Structures are given as structure tokens and as C-alpha cells.
């Protein structure tokens, strides 16, 4: 009888040890996976000002949760507690091909999200930008132009949320992919000649995203006349995510801080810019056949809608939701993006209604927290 009790006790101890070891392995696996997991976000930024009216294609930049700026032109892996950086191509930054700025100053021109004002005026934004430049951007040179109505300058590097509304399309990456991008950008020559038509911010984004999702992002003859635009790149990311839901594409809205300038405009593609703006009438007069062709192409291919209904709003006091893990229950099929040619919804930069046929299921998050993210800005882009 005692032998049976002893055997039973040994069996229970063995089972208990196995459960403890199994739990430890599961916990270790979760820790390793969370360390290896990274996130990035495409920042789709609305046009603003006079130049934004003439050229309503907007701006696009890339935010990386675990890639930080050692300097504005040198990258490194982030240390614990750092919030990552925004990387993009700009005009007027001494010929640099790309520049990297930490997340919070990129959005708000301050180092700490707690210092972000809820309302600003022109003088306040100028002061915030000048203070940040004196403290952190001297490596780019002291003679960089501030920018003007048409041409960009160093002011586009900080305080983007004072200029425009930004949409963040967040997706999962891996540590290996981020390390490869750091090595690639650090090793190659960081110089190029900015060209609004064929070497712009969207072209840089296209090349970088192709290193994460090979052969996915190409120039489109229709509807953008062979040029790469922010709206086109964003649509292709949305289309890719529809086919690869494990990338956990999630859409957030980063509102424009009021007071500095009027609200930014909705983003348009090339065809849409010609047929829905002041260019339409003179184009019809000069070449009605071309105008008709652009209009038909816009109706057939150009009306893709990117912003889901009621994306979560990210403010300075809950910026960490941009890097929070996406919970399984957040994969809501009710948050949808309309596909190319869908007659319903609204254009990028506007909140869309429920998608119709050909819609793309997206994920949404309802988490809240504290920290920082931001978007890039091209002066009056």
C-alpha cells in the first residue's frame, strides 16, 4: 500500500515538474517572439497650403518602431525606452537622399510628448522648431534654408502635425528586416537629387518597402502617369495586406494640431488631381481628348479609398498605441478599405463609410497609453 502511495506521489511530482518546465518554455517563447517582433508604419500625410492646392498628392514617410536616429543621417537599433524614428526623402536638405528624425519631434518639434501644446500660433511653432534645430540638427549644416512657399527646407523635418493631418498604416516587420535596412542605408552613399516627378518621397518609400515586401511596389502608368505618388504606394500596401493578413495592417489617425495654419486637404492621385481641381477647365479647353481620357481613367482606376471608417485617433498623450501589439479581437472585418473602382467611400484624407464590393478587411486597435510617434512634412507639399 505504501509503495503505491509513493509511486503516486512520484507521478504527481513528475507531472508538476513537467508543467513548470512547459510554462517556462512558453514564457520564454513569448519573450523571444516579442523581442523579435518589430513594427513599422507608412505615414500618409495630407497636402496643405498654396502648393498643396496646386499639387494635392501630399507626402509619405516611414516610421520604424525599433530603428532610431544616431544622427539625422545615420541609423542604429533602438535602446529600451526609445520610440523609433521617421525616415523619408525631402527636397532642400543639402542633397541628402534621406533623413531620420525621432518620432515625437518629427510630429511636434519637442523631445517629450508631455510638452506638446493643444493649440499653437505661428510664432510658437517657429520657436519650437528653432529650438529643436539648435539642439539636434546642427549636423545637417548651419546654412540649410528654412523653406518657402514652393521649395522645402529644414522646417519640414520637425513639427509635421502642426502642418497637416497624418494617417499611419502600421504593419508588422521582423528584427532581421530592420537590421538589413539599417545596414543598407548606413553603408550606401546618402546623396541624391530630389525630383518631384521621378525621385520624390514616394519613390524612396517604394524602394524601402520593396526590401520588406519584394516586387510589390512598382510605378503605375495608370492612374498616375508613370509617377510614384503617396496615395498609390499606400493603396499597394493595403492590397498587399489584404492578401497577407498576418502583417496585421492597422490604420490610425494623427490629427493636425490647430492654430498654425488652416486644415490640410484630402490626398489625390495624378489623374484625380487633374479632373477634380482647378486644372480641369484649362485642360478641357487645351486638349479635350486628353481631359476625357484622364477622366475615364480616374473613374475606372483612380477612385481607390484608403481610410477606414472611424480609425483610432492618436494624440500626444496616447502615442504608444502605435507600437502596441494587435490583439486577436482587434482584427475586425467591419473596418474596411474600399478597393479600386469601388463607387462608395471617400478619398484618402477623408473618413470612409462601410466598404462595398471588393473591400479590404483591416485591423483596428482600441488600446491607449503614453509615448510618441510622428509624421513627416514637405513644406507646402
Least confident of 6-10, 63-67, 229-233, 343-347: 343-347
pLDDT band at 103 (very low <50, low <70, confident <90, very high): very high
Residue 231 reports pLDDT greater than 60: yes
Is the residue at 110 inside a domain? yes
pLDDT band at 21 (very low <50, low <70, confident <90, very high): low
CA distance readout (Å), 100 to 250, 345, 346, 376:
23, 34, 32, 10
Of residues 309, 381, 319, the one with CA closest to residue 350: 309
Backbone angles phi, psi at 40, to 5 degrees: -140, 170
Least confident of 39-48, 109-118, 280-289, 322-331: 280-289
- Look at residue 31 in the predicted model and tell me its pLDDT: 43
Overall average pLDDT of the 55-73 stretch: 92
Is the residue at 277 inside a domain? yes
Q: What is the mean pLDDT of the chain?
A: 74
Is the residue at 157 inside a domain? yes
Residue 100 reports pLDDT greater than 60: yes
Of residues 227, 167, 229, 176, the one with CA closest to residue 197: 227
- Look at residue 190 in the predicted model and tell me its pLDDT: 93
pLDDT band at 194 (very low <50, low <70, confident <90, very high): confident
Residue 117 reports pLDDT greater than 90: yes
Of residues 245, 167, 183, 172, the one with CA closest to residue 212: 172
Residue 282 reports pLDDT greater than 90: no
**Distance between CA atoms of residues 136 and 91, nearest Å:** 19
Is the residue at 237 inside a domain? yes
Residue 170 reports pLDDT greater than 90: yes
> What's the whole-model pTM score?
0.73
Is the residue at 4 inside a domain? no
pLDDT band at 345 (very low <50, low <70, confident <90, very high): very low
Count Cβ atoms below 10 Å from residue 86 Cβ, excluding itself. Answer: 27
Domains: count for the chain: 1
Q: Distance of alpha carbon 205 from its chain centroid, rounded? A: 10
pLDDT band at 303 (very low <50, low <70, confident <90, very high): low
Cβ atoms of 374 and 63 within 8 Å: the answer is: yes
Residue 24 reports pLDDT greater than 70: no
pLDDT band at 380 (very low <50, low <70, confident <90, very high): very low
Residue 245 reports pLDDT greater than 70: yes
Residue 197 reports pLDDT greater than 80: no
Cβ atoms of 333 and 361 within 8 Å: the answer is: yes
pLDDT band at 84 (very low <50, low <70, confident <90, very high): very high
Is the residue at 21 inside a domain? no
**Distance between CA atoms of residues 288 and 82, nearest Å:** 54
Q: What is the pLDDT of residues 216-226, one digit of tens each?
A: 877 766 655 56
Is the residue at 274 inside a domain? yes
Structural domain that includes position 76:
37-361
Beta sheet of 59-64, edge-to-edge order: 99-102, 85-88, 59-64, 37-45, 166-174, 250-254, 312-313
Cβ atoms of 89 and 201 within 8 Å: the answer is: yes
Is the residue at 205 inside a domain? yes
| Beta strand pairing call for 312-313 and 250-254 | parallel
- Look at residue 327 in the predicted model and tell me its pLDDT: 57
Amino acid at each position: 500500500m505504501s509503495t503505491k502511495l509513493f509511486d503516486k506521489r512520484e507521478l504527481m511530482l513528475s507531472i508538476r515538474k513537467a508543467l513548470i518546465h512547459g510554462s517556462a518554455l512558453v514564457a520564454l517563447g513569448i519573450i523571444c517572439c516579442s523581442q523579435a517582433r518589430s513594427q513599422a508604419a507608412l505615414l500618409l500625410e495630407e497636402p496643405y497650403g498654396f502648393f498643396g492646392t496646386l499639387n494635392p498628392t501630399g507626402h509619405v514617410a516611414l516610421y520604424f518602431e525599433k530603428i532610431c536616429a544616431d544622427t539625422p543621417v545615420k541609423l542604429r537599433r533602438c535602446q529600451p525606452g526609445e520610440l523609433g524614428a521617421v525616415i523619408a526623402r525631402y527636397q532642400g536638405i543639402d542633397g541628402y537622399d534621406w533623413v531620420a528624425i525621432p518620432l515625437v519631434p518629427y510630429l511636434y518639434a519637442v523631445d517629450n510628448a508631455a510638452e506638446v501644446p493643444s493649440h499653437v500660433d505661428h510664432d510658437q511653432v517657429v520657436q519650437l522648431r528653432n529650438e529643436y534645430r539648435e539642439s539636434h540638427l546642427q549636423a545637417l549644416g548651419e546654412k540649410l534654408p528654412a523653406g518657402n512657399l514652393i521649395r522645402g527646407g529644414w522646417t519640414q523635418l520637425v513639427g509635421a502635425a502642426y502642418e497637416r493631418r497624418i494617417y499611419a498604416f502600421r504593419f508588422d516587420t521582423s528584427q532581421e528586416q530592420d537590421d538589413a535596412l539599417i545596414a543598407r542605408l548606413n553603408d550606401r552613399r546618402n546623396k541624391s537629387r530630389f525630383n518631384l516627378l521621378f525621385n520624390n518621397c514616394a519613390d524612396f518609400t517604394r524602394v524601402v518597402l520593396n526590401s520588406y515586401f519584394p516586387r510589390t511596389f512598382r510605378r503605375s502608368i495608370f492612374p498616375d502617369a508613370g509617377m510614384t505618388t503617396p496615395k498609390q504606394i499606400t493603396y499597394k500596401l493595403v492590397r498587399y495586406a489584404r492578401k497577407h493578413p498576418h502583417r496585421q495592417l492597422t490604420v490610425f489617425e494623427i490629427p493636425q494640431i490647430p492654430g498654425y495654419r488652416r486644415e490640410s486637404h484630402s490626398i489625390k492621385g495624378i489623374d484625380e488631381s487633374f479632373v477634380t481641381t482647378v486644372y480641369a477647365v484649362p485642360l478641357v479647353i487645351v486638349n479635350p481628348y486628353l481631359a476625357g481620357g484622364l477622366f475615364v481613367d480616374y473613374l475606372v482606376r483612380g477612385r481607390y479609398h484608403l481610410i477606414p471608417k472611424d480609425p483610432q485617433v492618436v494624440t500626444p498623450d496616447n502615442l504608444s498605441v502605435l507600437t502596441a501589439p494587435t490583439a486577436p479581437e482587434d482584427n475586425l472585418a467591419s473596418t474596411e478599405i474600399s478597393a479600386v473602382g469601388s463607387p462608395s467611400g471617400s478619398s484618402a484624407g477623408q473618413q470612409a463609410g462601410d466598404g462595398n464590393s471588393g473591400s479590404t478587411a483591416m485591423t483596428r486597435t482600441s488600446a491607449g497609453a503614453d509615448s510618441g510617434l510622428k509624421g513627416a512634412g514637405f513644406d507646402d507639399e
